[in-house]
Amino acid sequence: MQTIIRCHNIARHYRVGVQDVIALRSVSLEIEKGEYVAIMGPSGSGKSTFMNIIGCLDTPTLGEYILNGKNVSRMTDDELADVRNTEIGFVFQTFNLLPRYTAKENVMLPMIYAGVDKNTREHRAMQALASVDLSDRVSHRPNELSGGQRQRVAVARALVNNPSIILADEPTGNLDSKTSVDIMRLFGKIHASGNTVIVVTHEEEIAQHAHRIIRLRDGLVEYDIKNTEIIRYD
């Protein structure tokens, strides 16, 4: 299989006042194309820092990070922005939708930054919204949508540039139990279609949807296991 993420001895240190904070000590792992991975860990484990690094929102202090064949460890901010827009589809707990934009306009945004022409943007946005069962909500603004529908718009936006990975940060954190099930069923569908999915979560039940679970503690990988009790939906 093709390795899409390769992390070698990734460390991240911060300076807070006069104190050095070690968020990640030495993390080495690989994720293959088409995997469905959950990254877990308690508060202070380093999982949020690690998510920021694999999402190209931050760079490591030490170590090497290869994303889809590109060494992003020492890229400039502009280079990282380009990689984020083309290689990574983000889904956040708080949806991060622009309130004055319709569902379709929110989904089109990544393509505007990528320089895609208007007709293609509109076509691909409609396709992405249809893939998450929101064809009848394309002209609705976020305040006219339920929490689950807003998250589906966010998922459509994440998919629209055909990224190498879908990176979801606590994607059900603001949703009720029933809606959370619907969203995780959607992630299962996305994975089944061939996408690489990485979910960062503190919830055991959400992690059980993934095929592989990586748990961080004190800036290190505590364990990295194949999930033998995957939650599946018919």
| 67 falls within a domain | no
- CATH number of the domain within which 137 lies: 3.40.50.300
Q: Of the candidates 143, 144, 138, which has an alpha carbon nearest to the alpha carbon of residue 123?
A: 138
Q: Does residue 124 belong to any structural domain of this protein?
A: yes
> What domain count does the chain have?
1
Q: What is the pLDDT of residue 234?
A: 62
- Can you give the pLDDT at residue 113? 85
Q: Would 101 be classed as within a structural domain?
A: yes
> Is the Cβ–Cβ distance between 216 and 47 less than 8 Å?
yes
Q: Is residue 150 part of a domain?
A: yes
Would 196 be classed as within a structural domain? yes
Most confident by average pLDDT, 4-13, 66-75, 113-122: 4-13
User: How far, in whole angstroms, is CA 50 from its chain's centroid?
Assistant: 12
How many helices (H) does the chain have, and how many strands (E)? 7, 10
Phi, psi of 12 (to 5 degrees): -140, 120
Examine the pLDDT at 98 and tell me if it is beyond 90.
Answer: yes
Domain assignment of residue 50, given as a range: 35-58+87-226
User: 35-76: per-residue pLDDT in tens?
Assistant: 999 999 988 899 999 999 999 999 999 999 999 999 998 889
Mean pLDDT (whole number) for 193-221: 95
Q: Is 4 helix (H, G, I), strand (E, B) or coil?
A: strand
* 183 domain residue, yes or no: yes
Per-residue burial over 177-198, b = 16 or more CB atoms within 10 Å of its CB, e = otherwise: eebbbbbbebbbebbeeebbbb
CA distances from 65 to 13, 25, 37, 124 (A): 16, 14, 17, 30
Q: Is residue 69 part of a domain?
A: no
Average pLDDT over residues 191-208: 94
Binned at pLDDT 50, 70 and 90, residue 114 comes out as: confident
- Cβ count within 10 A of residue 173: 14
Give the pLDDT confidence score for residue 44 in this predicted structure: 86
> What pLDDT score does 108 carry?
96
